[in-house]
Every structure is written in structure tokens, then in C-alpha cells.
Amino acid sequence: MTSTTFDIDFGVPDSIPDSTLTDSILGSLSNDASSSAAHPRRKPGRRLPISQVLPPDHAETLEWYRLAAEKGDARAQVHLGFIHQQGRGVPQDHDEAVKWYRLAAAQGQYNLAISFIKGSGVRRDYGVAARWYRLAAEQGHVKAQVSLGNMYSKGIGVIQDHAEAAKWYQLAAAQGDAIAQFNLGVSYVKGLGVDKDYLQAHMWFSIGAEGGDAHAEQTRDTVALKLTAEQISEAKKMRLDHHANQV
């Protein structure tokens, strides 16, 4: 093993209290998902009546709504909930309807949190933003989970709590979020909120690198200098086991 000094930090800037939080850090509103391309039956600026959401046999339109909903478009999520609740073009499924309604509610809470972060239409208030992020995060909203983790990591709007930050990073990382995966790896490297564990760090950086994150790949290679060949093999096995458990 080679002695290595780590100089890595979380995927969130230190200047948060003094600047507007960027969409790249606390998540972006899905502009592409809310574009007219994601709503083929809606002209720009025109709200689609809920009663006209989907003709009974229009499978292609259903797929467009699903794609937009999966990208976080709240209106598409509401439409999908209605479609499944009413059985329009799909078998009636109240459980599926509730799932999409919950996601739509979480998206609204997430968007409201961003408004309080940026001071858009409201007075900027990080504490209130954190509460809205938590409501969305508790419903599984992945970007809200990352955002809440970032706030606990830096102590912005909440009392700094690395264990709480690691908890939210863990939940978001399990859903495939690259920032959460990187930040969780950093947590394991530095022992912030979790026991210091280079194998876990190597695993999470490797998972992030699989998605094309060059920073995660470079950091994983730095962590590898702290590990023996046997430990690296174990970390790789942990990565494979993680993917197997996700199936």
C-alpha cells in the first residue's frame, strides 16, 4: 500500500451561504421534461384539461407522459395518476395512481424548497427550504434527498449533522444519483457520519464512475492506493453485489 493524502471534498460548493445554489448542485427543474416535446398534445403555454389527458387507445401519448413523469415533471405525474385511477388506456390501478400522485406532491415540495433557496417569489429562507426538502425526500424524491444531505453536510438551514447527511446520501445513492454516490464515497473516506471505510468508498466511487463521472473515477483510483490488491478485489465484489441486489 502507498501512503496517500486525500484532498477531496463533497460534490457541493463551499460558497453556498453567499451565493445562489445552482441547479447542478441542488438539482435542476426538468426543463426538458416540461417542454412541449414531453407534452405532444399541449401547445406551449396552454394547460391540458385533465378530462382530455388520454384517449383510451393512445399508447404513444401514455409513453410520453411516463417519460416526462419519470424525469420529474409534476404535471405529467398527476396526469399518470389520473390515467391509472380512471383506467384510461390502461388497466385501472389505484396503487399505481397513488404512487404518481405522491411523486407529484413531492415534486411540488421540492420546487417550493428551491424557491426558498433562491428567494424566488418568497423571502430566502434556508431553514424553510430544508423543511420542504425533507417532506419531498421522505417520499423518495431523489434530488430532494441529495439536497437535504448537502444542507446537513454544510449546516445550512439545519444544524450540521454528518450522520444525517450520510443517511440521505445513502438513500439517494441507492436510487442511482451520481452526486449522492460521490458524496457517500467522500463520507466513507473522511469518516463523516459513518465509520471510515475505504472499501465502501472505493465501491461507491466505482459505481459513480460507471455512469461516466470522471471525478469519481479519479477519486476511486486515489482511494485504491490505500488498499491492497485483495481489498480492491473485495471492493469490486461489493460493487457487483450491490448491483445484484438492485435487480
The string of pLDDT tens digits covering residues 141-194 is 999 999 999 999 999 999 999 999 999 999 999 999 999 999 999 999 999 999
Helices (H), 139-177: 142-154, 162-174
166 part of a folded domain: no
- Look at residue 142 in the predicted model and tell me its pLDDT: 93
Given pLDDT bands bounded at 50, 70 and 90, which one contains residue 48?
very low
**What backbone phi and psi angles, to 5 degrees, belong to 34?**
-95, 10
139 shares a domain with 22: yes
C-alpha grid cell, residue 40: 405532444
- Higher pLDDT: 29 or 176? It is 176
C-alpha grid cell, residue 14: 463551499
Q: Considering its fold, how many domains does the chain have in total?
A: 2
143 shares a domain with 26: yes
19 shares a domain with 105: yes
The mean pLDDT value for 202-230 works out to: 92
- Look at residue 80 in the predicted model and tell me its pLDDT: 83
87 shares a domain with 183: no
Q: How far apart are CA 82 and CA 51, in angstroms?
A: 9
pLDDT winner (highest mean) among 16-20, 21-25, 31-35, 118-122: 118-122
Q: Which amino acid is at 194?
A: V
- Look at residue 186 in the predicted model and tell me its pLDDT: 95
- Residue among 131, 154, 169, 115 at smallest CA distance from 17: 154
CB 25 within 8 A of CB 11: yes
pLDDT over threshold 50, residue 213: yes
The string of pLDDT tens digits covering residues 107-141 is 888 988 999 999 988 999 999 999 999 999 998 99
Domain end among 103, 131, 160: 160
Instruction: Assign 3-state DSSP to the chain and report helix, strand, coil percentages, each to 5.
Output: 65, 0, 35
- Look at residue 11 in the predicted model and tell me its pLDDT: 52
204 shares a domain with 145: no
The string of pLDDT tens digits covering residues 133-153 is 999 999 899 999 999 999 999
Given pLDDT bands bounded at 50, 70 and 90, which one contains residue 4?
very low
41 part of a folded domain: yes
| Contacts of 83 by beta carbon, 8 Å cutoff, 6+ apart | 53, 54, 62, 65, 89, 90, 97
57 part of a folded domain: yes
205 part of a folded domain: yes
- Look at residue 161 in the predicted model and tell me its pLDDT: 97
Domain limits at 185? 178-247
- Higher pLDDT: 14 or 117? It is 117
Mean of the per-residue pLDDT values of the chain: 77
- Higher pLDDT: 32 or 22? It is 32
Q: Of 39-43, 169-173, 221-225, which range is least confident?
A: 39-43
240 shares a domain with 186: yes
Q: How far apart are CA 114 and CA 103, in angstroms?
A: 16
C-alpha grid cell, residue 203: 465501491
Domain end among 133, 160, 187: 160
Helices (H), 71-161: 74-86, 94-118, 126-138, 142-154
- Look at residue 40 in the predicted model and tell me its pLDDT: 40
- Look at residue 72 in the predicted model and tell me its pLDDT: 72
30 shares a domain with 71: yes
Dmax over CA atoms of the chain, in Å, equals 65
115 shares a domain with 33: yes
Q: Of 5-9, 54-58, 127-131, which range is least confident?
A: 5-9
Given pLDDT bands bounded at 50, 70 and 90, which one contains residue 10?
low
144 shares a domain with 32: yes
184 shares a domain with 147: no
187 shares a domain with 136: no
